[in-house]
Structure 1
Amino acid sequence: MHKSSIRTLVVALFLLGGYTLSASAQIDTLKTKPKEVEKKQEPKKEEKKKEEKPEKEEKKKKEETPYTKFFKDKKVESARGKFVSLHKIDGEVFLELPTKYLGQELMMGATITSTTDPDYLAVGSKNSAPFVFRLEKQDSVIVMKAPNTLVYRRDASRQLQQALELNYRDPVVMSFTPKVYTADSSAVVLSLNSLVTESNPFFEIIPKEQGPFKLSSSRNGNLTFIRGLKAFDTNASVKVEMNFSVTASLMGVLTVAKDMPLTAEVTYTILPVKPSQAIPRLADARVGYETSRKVSFPDYLDQSEPVYLAHRWCLIPKDKKAYAKGVLVEPEKKITFYLDNTFPATWAKAVREGVLRWNKAFEAAGFRNVIEVRDFPRDKNFDPDNLEYSTIRYIPNSQETVSGASWFDPRTGEIFNASLLIYNNVENLIHKQRFIATAAIDPAVRSSRLPEDRFLESLSALVTQEVGKTLGLLNNYAASTAYSTANLRSAKFTSEYGLAPSIMDGEFYNYVAQPSDKGVRLINNVLGEYDRYAIEWGYRYFPEEEGDPAREAKRLVEFVNKKVANPIYRYAPRQTYSVDPTVRTEDLGDDHLMSSTLGMKNLAIIRSQLGQWIQNDPDSRKKKAMYLTVVQQYYLYLKNAMSLVGGVVTREARLSTGLPRYQVVPKAKQREAFQWILAEAKRFQSYADRSLERKLPMDVSYFDQLLEFINNDILNLRARIIIASQVDKNSYSLGEYFDDLYKAIFASTIAGTAPNHMERFMQRNFIDKAVVGATNARQATPNMPYGFTSGPMTMDMLRLSASAPTDFSTLLSRGRLSYGGGDPSANIYPMANVPALDTSDQYFYAALVKIRPILEQRASSTTDRELRAHYQTLAFKVKKLLDDKK
């Protein structure tokens, strides 16, 4: 088509559409329109990027939360588990706790993982009880509350429970400021540093005492480092390295280390407290169990009363029907100990045997295979310092012992964790004890080291005793006097019954057996009747009582009532002051005089052969240590006999049983014992082996060093005699004691013969005590009884009278308990206001008047210069006092 024709057509079209354009513009429009449309549909790349950037930033802002910001641009080490997660950021530990656990009970414990000095801090030890708490949101903070366990609430009515909630609230012990919540608020992040890296009242890392050492410590907070985090399905742990400055003293007297640096790694474990099926067992003071004291407000009484919960593991039969029929069944959950893989190879079997020995006792309670011992698993997730595991640890340090400990829920008494620490040098302790007790009859132990079979046998027995403590049992030092001394020399009797009815007694070895007693048992390494009886009391399951502790307690009281008349079932708590001669840590047999005499015969044999039996000892170090043990054993036998003088055999008795609470040792036996003691004291130095002593590195003979102790022990018997006289007016009296003491001390002087060194020592000490006593008596207020000084009572006076009314029968009504279990924490032994009742001064004075002319005569007549000086000194002291008193 011609160009002019095209223009005409275009103009016509625009005119129809109402537009006016010049011809050239119209042509240009047709040429450029497609390109302009394309530009509008497809913007430039730069413009497209500008449009997309704000969208990405907006999306990124939406994804970022306070939780992610908290961890942003930080070096984070995390451990995530199904229970909780842990994070470490710049030396600070954070707990990410699901909010579902707010208000639920949690538990945290601290275990020593490694140390630079095991003498002061043992690996595997827990030096404070695991801490139970709840975390609750309060305003903008999270508070930590500890359960108030003062009250026993199980038998409280709903109305009483409301009153208890108001008066015994759970205390708030700490607070945490939440660092951040997760985006969905399902978890909160808290700093744990106040619990794991800073000092706090909940976890004691360095104990106040460790073995023979008393410790004080200060912590260097700048040298505390987080070493590791772990999180599992049911718990999580933090390992922390801490540094301390420690001062240690031996028995609180001799400083052995001052400001010593000590580094320790501590594992803190946190875990939820699982719902417990444990039924509290109300304690009976006549059966030896660890207990927790609570206050109860029963609805049927008009006053509160104390309640004592026995500590025990929760054992429930797997098959309750079979159990009810008397079939031995396994528990739903066993007591499992994990055995350290660092033990010397030969020790493990003996340790395992010592632990599993208790399974026989559990059969009395209707259970089988209650305890199991497993080796440390090779699983990398196993951590022996985790609170979920009960362990048996090997500690290579200088201590000579085995120690057991357990941890319990104070509300129910349920034991949930235990540990056993076996120290490397326990071999030294066992060697000394077994050698001194049995070397006279057992040739196998006559060496500088026990043969392996004897050592392992003893180790196993010691482990059994300590495991008993982890089951809740207390030592029963009354058990060893249940068998007669004569029966302990019988092979038939000892093979059947052992040396005592309880392995929880303190004496393991038969020191009364003589070389002529063939085949007699020498070690108490079997469970006795008391052990089986105590386990039955503590672990018998009573489904028919429907979990009611009070109903169970009534059945158990009847169970004990039927047993206590038999001495093999007797339990007595440890004494603070020695009153009862049958409750001693290292005695054996029912006749202390006979047992001590037989023990001394064996010691004479051992002492005479010590140099030949202890070989491979070039520096005499071993002979010196064993010779000291011989001397200590002589002294122990003397002390055992002394316990008869003024002795009162005591029972935690019930009126319904008809058993007496107190039985004073017969007067004739007391006097026989005192005469024996005085004779042994005067010849005590004759037991020394002077020839051997000259070969040993010692300054003063151990026998000579003990003279003062023995003499003071003899004079201090007066306190027991006074107490026994209050219980029984026909007991060995203070006047009879002084008559016998005077005759023994001055026998040689009265007879005109020269007293030996010990007699002179005893004479000097007696005169000095008499002078002091008579002087005090002269200064006493005239209207007061002789021997009772004027002025306020001192603490020494009060401590012996605090739990002892003059009328001892009133003690029977002490501890009003509805279930009849008694008070396990009470002192059952008779006490008296000894200073107020002591009339020793008048007997001392009478003795001075009697001895004065004899001393003056001997001072003028003796030709021995040293003895004359001795008598002159004594006569001068007596004359001065008596003449001044006129």
Structure 2
Amino acid sequence: MAKSYYIMKYPLVVLTALLVVLGCANQKPTTKKSTNTPTSSASKDDKIKPYSKVITSAAKTDDGLFKVHQIGEKYYYEIPNAVLQKDMLWVSRIAQIPSNLGGGYMNAGSKTNEQVVHWVRFQDKILLKVKSYSEVALDTSAAINNSVLVNNYEPTLYAFDIEALSADSTATVIDVTKFLSSDVQAISGLSSRLRKSYKVKNLDKDRSFINNIKTFPENIEVKQDFTYNASEPPSNSATESISLQMNQSMILLPEEPMQPRLFDPRVGWFTTSQIDYSSEALKADKKTYIRRWRLEPKDPAAYERGELVEPIKPIVYYLDPGTPESLKTYIKQGIEDWQKPFETAGFKNAIIAKDAPTKEEDPDFSPEDIRYSVVRYVASTTRNAVGPSVSDPRSGEIIESDIIWYHNHLRSYRNRYLLETGAANPSARTLDTNAEEIGEMMRQVIAHEVGHALGFPHNMAASYAYNVEDYRDGEFTQNNGIAASLMDYARYNYIAQPGDENIRFVRQMGPYDHYAANWGYRVIPNANSPEAELQTLNSWILEKANDPKYKFGKQSSSFDPQSQTEAIGNNPIKASTYGIKNLKYVAENLPKWTSDQTNDYADLEELYGELLGVMSRYVGHVVTNVGGVYENLKTPEQEGSVYTVVDKDTQKQSVSWLHNTIFETPQWLIDKAIVQNISESGYFERLRSLQTRHLNNLLSFDRIGRLINAETTENEYYSALEMLQDVKRGIFNEVTSGKPTDLYRRNLQRAFVEQMEYLLTEEMSRGRYGEVYYTVDQSDVRALVRGELKLLERQLKSARSSNTLTKYHYDDLEDRINLILNPEG
């Protein structure tokens, strides 16, 4: 039938072909066979064997998304034609990991890649293609869709020969053994950086193999055992090998993508973006969608009436089988704490915590299986917890997530609890923190990480919503916690003072979390497109726009005093003053609470080092005021500017506070009862490092640039010249007072001169502040620095001191400045 149809439809082509064949028959045969003769279609068909010759009676077959056949050590996929060219999400994870791979921040369960793939037939091959949704024509019927396709050609991850067709020709059989046994970079567990670091030579094929392949109705899970030859492995160095087990998950994405929800930067969400070339905008239109789970009400009518309704498919988290029994209750509470915000969004029982099934209950359960979201408990000395997720790039739908909890992370929380609350909180003054208090801390950390996995980034403005004095009010803290959102980096109430009663010291869920969950997850009836939702979504924001409890502040902000990591309260000077007052009390009692109890100095050393870190954070919060700019995201229909410069008085007070608190030698940090029991030397270096870090941060290109910028918008402003003068005056007050300098002040004054040299000579044409750049060489920066150095040089020349070391020090500074100003002599 096919041949006669061909002849009837193309008679001229057939006639021409016959004439060519007859003509060729009359030619003399050549003595040498051409190497360029194309393979005939018959020889191609010969490559495709009968099904029974490939999938023999020896095959062990597992049926699912694809049929998977195992014959000896070979694996075959039988791919239904119906799923060819359909989008699938491929996620590569490490299932088992050697000690210290990646320096402690990789673990069993770490995702190494996430990509959309589809399987495509081309002639006698099946191609595994990687598909991108970053540039699209959402209207696929638009003419420009053709241009999008040809200008975004999909890379081929692997090409497979077709081994056989199913008996009814509805499926294609390929051999995946070589592909899944090879070192394919796109699905590997070792990045280029790790390969270079550990001097990886190659994959040892004799020690690498496919462990197993399991197929399910919507996904396929592959486990691979790989061993690499490496000159400098992260552990077991004598073996010169790195062995790890990889898990490859491939899941069929929904035929109909979830309706996306357009992102608004005034509410914090993780996002995915596309460039839509078919948009009617006169440009390539960037569409940014929030990342969220697909929650749909079982009873839409009841939901629309305002009743709480269960979702068709709730979010379920399983606990890692390796989770200590004593912690399971707190982990489950942390997961299900999000039920309340989801109720605000109209859903009940939207998120559920479960123990992992036993082998008897589900022999196929695996934490790496992309069907399951798991809170993984990692046996590691790393102190951290993370909440990653994988999502459909077409819509932002979160498909699965794993919360990672590292075993030693509780030690970090115990230490911070002691240091930040120990002055006002007697129960924190111990290395053996009460189990229930530790459990409450873990509960809140798990809830925080689950928040990330639900789509929420850090909201660093949430703690700025509360007045500093409110943190000393027991009733307020019990009702409101210490931030308007659990997603802030506000872990403890370090403001409350000794004698304050009924204080809550640990963070908890806040009003912003309910607001953000409702904004992102509430189904808007009759809104059948992302654009149809915009009016309602905007109205929800405007309702809360003037209430600081519902403000979102980006973690990436380095200039906004409202959005600072580890800060609490709406006045950094006042909050840090309270915090440092508490730290002084803790430092005085630290030996009594640690080494006196353990008869060992290890904990004292560890906690003293962390105490310096806490002190540094408190100081940094005040530094941000200087050259600070408040960022309040809004649309033109809202009153006021997006960016507002911090007032002059606050900036000047901040510089004065810095002089009094950190630049004037904080002798209380050099406690003999501590330092002389943890190290033989280096006491002055610890303090020099702390002071210099904040001096250099204060005297930075970006901060000076923002101060210069204020001249263009403000009637009254704190100028860059005033800041430099105030800093120099305080750092060198001994020059004018005639007082001798101590070791720490000499170090600090040298650091000032070195930083001024950096500002004067660093070869950079542009300095960054926020998202704006300025040309340093053509700005006031060099002139200001040169002028202040010249003035300082004159002051040092005329300085008088009876202290010999101070005199030598001033002579040295004078020579240093002269060399900076006159490098060629």
Distance 1:200 1:729, change over 3 A: farther
Work out which of the residue numbers 157, 160, 165 in structure 2 matches 1:176: 160
Cα 1:797–1:467, aligned 2, differ >3 Å: closer, same or farther?
A: farther
Q: Distance in 2 between matches of 1:689 and 1:260?
A: 47
Report the aligned-residue RMSD.
3.1
Cα 1:269–1:770 change in 2 (3 A) is: closer
Given the superposition, is the C-alpha separation of residues 176 and 851 from structure 1 closer, same or farther in structure 2, using an over 3 Å criterion? closer
Deviations 1:701-725 (A, max 9, x none): 2324423323323322534423444
Out of 768, 793, 799, which is 1:800 matched to? 768
Alignment of 1:757 with 2:738, yes or no, is no
Residue number in structure 1 paired with 2:733: 747
Whether 2:590 is the aligned partner of 1:624: answer no
Q: Is the 8 A contact 1:128 1:203 kept in 2?
A: yes
Q: For 1:872, which of 808, 811, 816 is the aligned residue?
A: 811
User: Aligned runs of 1:102-181 on 2, under 5 Å?
Assistant: 102-117=84-99, 119=104, 121-129=106-114, 131-151=115-135, 153-154=137-138, 172-181=156-165
Corresponding residue for residue 553 of structure 2? 572
Name the amino acid aligned to 1:83: L
> Does the alignment pair 1:67 with 2:35?
no
Deviation at 1:630, TM superposition (A): 0.7
SS in 2 for 1:134: strand
Within the alignment, does 1:394 sit opposite 2:333 as a pair? no
Q: Assess, with a 3 A threshold, how the Cα gap between structure 1 residues 458 and 797 changes in structure 2: closer, same or farther.
A: farther
- 1:401-425 CA-to-partner distances (Å, cap 9, x unmatched) read 1111111110111111111111111
Question: CA–CA distance in 1 between the matches of 2:757 and 2:804?
Answer: 25
The answer to whether structure 1 residue 373 and structure 2 residue 358 are counterparts is no
Structure 1 spans left out of the alignment, 5+ residues: 1-64, 777-788, 802-828
Deviations 1:366-400 (A, max 9, x none): 11110011211122122222111111111111111
Amino acid at match of 1:473: F
Distance across 1 between alignment mates of 2:129 and 2:208: 26
Give 2:395's aligned residue: 412
Q: Does 1:585 find its partner at 2:526?
A: no
Supply the distance in 2 between the matched residues of 1:574 and 1:201 (Cα, whole angstroms): 32
Aligned runs of 1:821-860 on 2, under 5 Å? 829=770, 831-833=772-774, 835-836=776-777, 838-852=779-793, 854-858=795-799
Q: Which letter does structure 2 place at the counterpart of 1:424?
A: H
| Paired residue total | 764
Aligned counterpart, 2:722: 736
CA 1:274/1:742 → structure 2, altered by over 3 Å: closer, same or farther?
A: closer
- Provide the secondary structure at the position in 2 that maps to 1:184: coil
Q: Provide the rounded CA distance (Å) in 2 between the counterparts of 1:285 and 1:698.
A: 52
Provide the residue aligned with 1:635 in structure 2. 616
Shift of 1:110: 2.8
Shift in alpha-carbon separation, 1:540–1:524, aligned structure 2, 3 A: same
- Correspondence for 2:648: 667
Q: Percent identity?
A: 25
Alignment counterpart, residue 224 of structure 1, candidates 203, 208, 216: 208
Q: 1:239 corresponds to which letter in structure 2?
A: K
Q: Which amino acid aligns with 2:568?
A: L
Gaps of 5+ in 2: 1-48
| 8 Å CA contact retained: 1:644, 1:665 | yes
Change (3 A) 1:326 1:478: same
Contact 1:85 1:236 in 2 (8 A): no
Which residue of 626, 630, 637 maps to 1:645? Answer: 626
What is the TM-score of this pair, normalised by structure 1?
0.80
User: Cα deviations across residues 193-238 of structure 1 (Å, max 9, x unaligned)?
Assistant: 454222324324135799xx98775652422112223334443332
Q: Distance in 1 between matches of 2:611 and 2:284?
A: 53
Conserved 8 A contact 2:584-2:668: no
Residue 699 (structure 2) aligned to one of 700, 715, 729: 715
Q: 1:239 to 1:677 in 2, by over 3 A?
A: same
Native 8 Å contact 1:620 1:697 kept in 2: no
Larger radius of gyration: 1
Distance 1:256 1:750, change over 3 A: farther
Hey, what does 2:494 align to over in structure 1? 511
Aligned to 1:692: 674
Partner of 1:243: 227
TM-score (norm 2): 0.86
Q: How many Å apart are 1:617 and its aligned residue? A: 3.6
What CA deviation, in whole Å up to 9, does each residue of 1:642-675 have, x standing for no partner? 1101100012221101131111111011000001
Following superposition, the deviation at residue 240 of structure 1 comes to 1.2
Aligned to 1:441: 424
1:549 deviates by 1.0
Q: Does the Cα contact within 8 Å between 1:78 and 1:87 map onto a contact in 2?
A: yes
Out of 519, 534, 543, the residue aligned to residue 516 of structure 2 is: 534
What is aligned with 2:276?
A: 296
Deviation at 1:246, TM superposition (A): 6.4
Q: Secondary structure, in 3 states, of the residue corresponding to 2:468?
A: coil
- CA distance in 1 between counterparts of 2:787 and 2:181 reads 68
Q: CA 1:185 to 1:655, structure 2 compared with 1: closer, same or farther past 3 Å?
A: same
Give the conservation status (yes or no) of the 8 Å contact 1:667–1:732.
Answer: yes
1:453 paired residue number: 436
